[in-house]
Amino acid sequence: MLIDEEKEMSRIRGLTLAGLLVCGGVGATACSSGATNARGGAADNTPAALANGPPADILETPASGTLTETGGSALSPLLQRWAAGFHARWPMAVVQPAARQTSRALAGVAAGSTDIAASGLSLRAREMRAHPGLESVPLAVSAGVVVYNVPGVSGHLKLNGVVLSAMYEGSVATWNASAIARLNPGTPLPDLPVVTLHRANESASTWLFTKYLTESDPRGWGTRVGAHARVQWPMAPHAGAENSAAQMISACKATPGCVAYLGIPSLRKAVAANLDDAALGDAGNDYVLPTVSAIAAEAAGRAHKTAATGTASLVDSSAGHGYPLVGYEYGIVKLLQPSSGTARSVRALLEWLVSKHGGSERSLLSQAGLQPLSEHLERRALSQTLEIR
């Protein structure tokens, strides 16, 4: 993310929070719906109060009723487990999960028809201008993967951002091209055309993948294409476009020579389809697989650089042995809710989601390939959550 855009996002957020403090133009009920702790007292939501970790009584009891939560189709199984877990903890509260594309989910939160949208995309400055009062709260650490279908090649091929950008631009057109062979000495590579697959619609996986290409090849891909959730793809030979992670996997399985990118929640399905995942080159020229420790190392290297807006670029940092394609899953919410009860329930759900004793319990997140936030980021997320009124 550009520094100027981050400054603009911080400015918009500051104006929004100032408006919430003044409560200009809203009713007294909304103005008085501040955070309370589980014992019914006022919650201290200052950074100092959270400096040594979230106190046990910061987790709130939700109001009786139903919340709606949406997310991408790849996250649907996790959303179902989150809903069941939250209801088991608080039987008076029901969470209705639904799979929905990122743009539609964001529109639902802005319109008030959705309470929380889970997304691998944080809010951008233009979206914050269009929908002031929305917030991106980090929920978990995620990652992207590059998969391929190259018959006869075993193990994990090494690929980096420069070579991948050349593959997607069409200048590296076969799997035995010298650029790929140099990264994989001793590995027999076939004279097989490279078939690049990309998402036709807006997606978090596209943003993460193109961010990696931009960071790796700033004067090439970064200048000609850039990093966006939807890009104008180069006209590479044999290139194909799909509208979902499931379609990407299916098309890649059916296409020898395919290379594609996915969010890590889809990796198990890709492996089950006999696709292989690549070891990706990082800023230190190490080639790293998306293991738990490598993703954690990358996320830890950038945790303290996460902005007050909840956003951060975790891609291709200088973290030792860090996997270079890492991001967050966010909860997109409205800071100003229609009632104190809804505000309390939204806060309670977000607090439970980031808690390592709740929705971020490691064995639960690992089923989707996700990892809990660091303690620093958990405190930051709680600080954001307590601003919901």
Compute the distance between CA of residue 134 and CA of residue 354 in angstroms, rounded to an integer: 19
Compute the distance between CA of residue 140 and CA of residue 10 in angstroms, rounded to an integer: 22
Q: How far apart are the first and last CA of the chain?
A: 28
Compute the distance between CA of residue 261 and CA of residue 241 in angstroms, rounded to an integer: 12
Residue among 147, 145, 368, 142 nearest 249 (CA): 147
Q: What is the pLDDT of residue 21?
A: 46
Give residue limits of the domains in the chain.
3-33+50-140+329-385, 144-299
Q: What is the CB neighbour count within 10 angstroms for residue 14?
A: 12
**Is 144-299 a domain of CATH 3.40.190.10?**
yes
Q: Which helix (H) or strand (E) holds 344?
A: helix 340-354
3-state helix, strand, coil in the chain (%, to 5): 40, 20, 40
User: Distance of CA 58 to CAs 53, 90, 186, 309, 335, Å?
Assistant: 10, 15, 56, 21, 18
User: Beta partners for 195?
Assistant: 258
Q: What is the pLDDT of residue 297?
A: 87
**Per-residue model confidence as pLDDT tens for the chain (389 residues):** 444 544 444 544 454 444 444 443 333 333 434 444 332 333 443 333 333 444 444 579 999 999 999 988 778 889 999 999 999 999 999 999 987 766 677 888 988 899 999 999 888 888 888 888 999 999 999 999 999 999 999 889 999 999 999 999 999 999 999 999 999 999 999 999 999 999 999 999 999 999 999 999 999 999 999 999 999 999 999 999 999 999 999 999 999 999 999 999 999 999 999 999 999 998 888 999 999 999 988 888 766 666 555 555 667 655 567 899 999 999 999 999 999 999 999 999 999 999 999 999 999 999 899 999 988 889 889 999 999 99
Q: What is the pLDDT of residue 305?
A: 60
Residue among 171, 305, 189 nearest 237 (CA): 171
Question: If you ran DSSP here, which 8-state letter would residue 277 be given?
Answer: E
Block residue for tokens 């400055």: 125
Reported CATH class of domain 3-33+50-140+329-385:
alpha beta
153 burial (CB, 10 Å; 0-12 / 13-18 / 19+) is middle
Q: What is the pLDDT of residue 76?
A: 87
Question: CA 38 from chain center: how many Å?
Answer: 29
Q: What is the pLDDT of residue 127?
A: 85
Compute the distance between CA of residue 62 and CA of residue 38 in angstroms, rounded to an integer: 9
The DSSP secondary structure of 96-111, one letter per residue, reads EEEE--HHHHHHHHHH
Compute the distance between CA of residue 105 and CA of residue 115 in angstroms, rounded to an integer: 10
Compute the distance between CA of residue 384 and CA of residue 353 in angstroms, rounded to an integer: 13
Q: Which two tokens stand for residue 26?
A: 């809203």
Could you give phi then psi for residue 137, rounded to 5 degrees? -105, 115
Could you give phi then psi for residue 200, rounded to 5 degrees? -80, -30
Residue among 288, 270, 291 nearest 279 (CA): 288
Q: What is the pLDDT of residue 292?
A: 92
144-299 has the same fold as 3-33+50-140+329-385: yes
Total-model pTM: 0.84
